[in-house]
């Protein structure tokens, strides 16, 4: 370090030397003191910063471990006289953090007013136990741990009791309300981190599956009992087990959707590369009656150490589970009522199909209100809207048909496809063990795609061949071949009525058409409705036949025609006589 030499006035050269020497010694001493002081200041800074960070962490983290660490650092800092100024403030902040922690823990067990809570959720119990484990890391808290733990055990016991009591209630009085209540408490118990509680939840779920199958079978219509019981038995048997193939995963998904679960987690093997989204879609297509408000799903797949995979699916619904369960039960009861009053043992599968078709057309209004506004109204798309509210769209018609058919053992599938936009319809397997195409929506004269507004019930898309059906329909789901002939529409003698209750004339050839026209003109009928069987004509060709007949009869009149589209199936020929 360089030193400047100052020559002071009135001092000799020798004196100046002596003075410079003294100044040099003094400077060196001061420099040493400065370096020593700087080192001390650096250590103080480190202690302060370390303590400050620990206190801040205790305030933000809110754990006993962070608070204990902060107290340790403050205690060390208190030994340094130069840092005593911060000890009091830091200690206050730590005390505030400790009080917040205790307050949070007490909030699980006591109300804001200080009274003990009647019951707390399983999630709250789990969180409170985590706090206890954290509290136990501080020696000063250990005297409280035992009593606090006993209090949490009491709350846990209440959840176990609720799960058992609600299940007993469901057993005695099966209904949507008691089912949902039991399901709620069993799900609550299953969230416990305690293995004994998880085991109890699994035991109760198994019992509930037994009661659920028995109770539903006893109150559902004949035919549905065996089908639903088989499906529900499969769903119960897969609960808690690993799934080994796509079929077992489908059963687990079906059970979750039937009971409107929000989360399904399964351990799977041999399913790498499987598309879970497609499997969910296939389940909904194959079992459309379980959909009462499904709004989509997301899923994750994680590889496990043993070569398996953990599949977690999150389901979304339009409404809460209790609402959906009530809708489902309302539909089941309606189905039972319809069948008990209208279906008899002597009826063939075709008779049943025809009745269900006519019932749905006559009792359902095609609801365009929400479609026109671009709104997806859940009830319009499931059996509840059609069977309970009396309105819906194609999806609702088709799913209601599946529900009714399944109730009496009639094989019926829901087909997803396109027909002037997204569309859904049915296929049914009849007495000849053959499949037939059926579009109830387009057979409803009030539907947006029907032009047969003059018909009460249309049969244009009732049991028709693939060749005719797929002129304006395209299936996008996998379907069997519709190769039945015996029950094709034009091979049947259907008693059809028009909108005003008059008989619809069946026309199989031009001679029959001419006879119908002649009868209408001679008897001065204001209109006639006709149904072409195994043939069709254009409006121009029909007009030519009218002209030809009237040329013979020489009646002063005018006439007009409306029909259901091209190719023509139904027509209404109107006359005005002068």
Q: Give tens-digit pLDDT for 424-433.
A: 999 999 989 9
428 and 514 within one domain: no
Round to whole Å and give the CA distance between 507 and 569: 10
Question: How many folded domains does the chain comprise?
Answer: 4
| 149 lies in some domain | no
91 and 235 within one domain: no
| 135 lies in some domain | no
485 and 358 within one domain: yes
Round to whole Å and give the CA distance between 369 and 364: 14
| 128 lies in some domain | no
Confidence (pLDDT) at 477: 81
Segment 148-201, tens digit of pLDDT: 889 899 999 999 999 999 999 888 887 656 776 887 898 889 889 888 998 898
300 and 161 within one domain: yes
Confidence (pLDDT) at 216: 41
List strand residue ranges (DSSP E) for 419-526, in order: 422-429, 435-438, 462-464, 474-475, 505-507
346 and 310 within one domain: no
Ranges 24-33, 184-193, 372-381: which has the least confidence: 24-33
For residue 32, pLDDT beyond 70: no
334 and 314 within one domain: no
pTM of this structure: 0.57
Confidence (pLDDT) at 213: 52
Among 181, 182, 122, 192, residue whose Cα is nearest residue 155: 122
Among 407, 412, 410, 409, residue whose Cα is nearest residue 219: 407
Instruction: Select from 109, 138, 170 the last residue of a domain.
Output: 109
300 and 212 within one domain: yes
| 449 lies in some domain | yes
In terms of DSSP H, where are the helices of 364-502? Answer: 369-372, 383-384, 394-407, 440-443, 466-469
For residue 546, pLDDT beyond 50: yes
Average pLDDT of the residues in 280-287: 90
Instruction: Select from 109, 133, 164 the last residue of a domain.
Output: 109
For residue 223, pLDDT beyond 70: no
Among 24, 96, 83, residue whose Cα is nearest residue 52: 83
Q: Which pLDDT band holds residue 132 (cuts at 50, 70, 90)?
A: confident
Question: For the domain that residue 518 is a member of, what is the CATH number?
Answer: 3.40.50.150
Question: For the domain that residue 422 is a member of, what is the CATH number?
Answer: 3.10.620
Instruction: Select from 295, 319, 343 the last residue of a domain.
Output: 319
DSSP code of 385? I
412 and 353 within one domain: yes
Strands 557-563 and 505-507: unpaired
| 214 lies in some domain | yes
Contact (CB, 8 A) for 426 and 464 = no
Confidence (pLDDT) at 97: 86
Q: Is the C-alpha dihedral spanning 211, 239, 186, 315 positive or negative?
A: negative
483 and 440 within one domain: yes
Confidence (pLDDT) at 285: 84
Determine whether 472 is exposed, middle or buried from the number of CB atoms within 10 Å of its CB (0-12, 13-18, 19+): middle
List, edge to edge, every strand of the sheet that includes 462-464: 462-464, 435-438, 422-429, 412-418, 474-475
| 390 lies in some domain | yes
259 and 309 within one domain: yes
313 and 427 within one domain: no
| 309 lies in some domain | yes
Domain housing 161: 156-319
Segment 33-88, tens digit of pLDDT: 444 444 555 788 888 998 999 888 888 877 888 888 988 999 888 888 888 888 88
Segment 479-521, tens digit of pLDDT: 999 999 999 998 988 878 888 878 888 898 999 999 999 999 9
360 and 231 within one domain: no
pLDDT above 70 coverage of the chain, percent: 87
Buried b (16+ CB within 10 A) or exposed e, 494-532: bebebeeeeebbbbeeeebbeebbbebbeeeeebbbbbb
| 416 lies in some domain | yes
């Amino acid at each position: 370090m360089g030193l400047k030499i100052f020559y002071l006035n009135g001092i000799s050269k020798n004196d100046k030397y002596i003075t410079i020497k003294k100044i040099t010694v003094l400077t060196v001493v001061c420099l040493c003191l400065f370096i020593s002081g700087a080192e001390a200041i650096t250590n103080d800074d480190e202690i302060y910063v370390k303590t400050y960070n620990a206190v801040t962490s205790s305030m933000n983290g809110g754990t006993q471990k962070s608070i204990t660490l902060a107290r340790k650092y403050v205690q060390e800092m208190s030994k340094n006289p130069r840092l005593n100024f911060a000890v009091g403030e830091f200690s206050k902040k730590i005390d505030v953090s400790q009080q917040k922690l205790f307050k949070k823990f007490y909030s699980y067990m006591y109300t804001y007013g200080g009274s003990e809570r009647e019951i707390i959720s399983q999630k709250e119990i789990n969180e409170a136990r985590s706090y206890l484990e954290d509290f136990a890391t501080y020696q000063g808290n250990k005297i409280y741990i035992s009593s606090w733990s006993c209090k949490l055990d009491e709350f846990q016991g209440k959840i176990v009791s609720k799960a058992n009591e609600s299940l007993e209630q469901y057993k005695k009085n099966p209904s949507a309300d008691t089912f949902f209540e039991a399901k709620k408490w069993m799900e609550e118990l299953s969230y416990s981190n305690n293995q004994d509680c998880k085991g109890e939840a699994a035991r109760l779920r198994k019992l509930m599956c037994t009661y659920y199958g028995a109770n539903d079978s006893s109150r559902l219509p004949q035919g549905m009992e065996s089908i639903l019981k088989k499906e529900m038995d499969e769903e119960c048997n897969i609960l808690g087990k690993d799934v080994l193939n796509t079929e077992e995963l489908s059963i687990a998904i079906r059970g979750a959707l039937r009971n409107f679960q929000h989360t399904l987690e399964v351990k799977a093997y041999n399913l790498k590369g499987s598309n879970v989204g497609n499997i969910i879609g296939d389940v909904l297509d194959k079992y459309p009656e379980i959909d009462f408000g499904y709004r989509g799903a997301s899923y994750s797949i994680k590889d496990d150490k043993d070569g398996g995979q953990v599949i977690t699916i999150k389901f979304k619904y339009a409404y809460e589970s209790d609402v959906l369960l009530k809708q489902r039960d309302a539909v089941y009861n309606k189905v039972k009522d319809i069948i008990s009053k209208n279906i008899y043992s002597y009826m063939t599968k075709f008779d049943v199909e025809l009745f269900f078709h006519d019932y749905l057309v006559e009792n359902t209004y095609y609801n365009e209100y929400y479609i026109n506004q671009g709104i997806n109204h859940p009830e319009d798309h499931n059996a509840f809207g059609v069977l309970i509210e009396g309105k819906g769209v194609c999806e609702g018609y088709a799913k209601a048909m599946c529900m009714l058919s399944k109730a009496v053992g009639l094989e019926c599938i829901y087909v997803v496809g396109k027909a002037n936009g997204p569309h859904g319809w049915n296929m049914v397997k009849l007495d000849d063990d053959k499949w037939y195409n059926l579009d109830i929506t387009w057979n409803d004269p009030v539907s947006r795609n029907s032009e047969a507004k003059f018909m009460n019930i249309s049969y244009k898309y009732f049991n028709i061949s693939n060749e005719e059906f797929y002129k304006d329909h395209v299936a996008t789901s996998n379907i069997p071949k519709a190769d039945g002939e015996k029950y094709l529409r034009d091979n049947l003698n259907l008693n059809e009525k028009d909108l005003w209750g008059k008989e619809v004339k069946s026309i199989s050839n031009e001679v029959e058409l001419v006879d119908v026209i002649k009868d209408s003109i001679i008897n001065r009928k204001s209109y006639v409705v006709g149904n072409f069987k195994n043939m069709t004509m254009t409006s121009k060709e029909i007009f030519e036949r009218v002209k030809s007949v009237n040329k013979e009869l020489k009646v002063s009149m005018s006439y007009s025609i409306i029909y259901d589209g091209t190719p023509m199936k139904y027509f209404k020929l109107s006359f005005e006589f002068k």
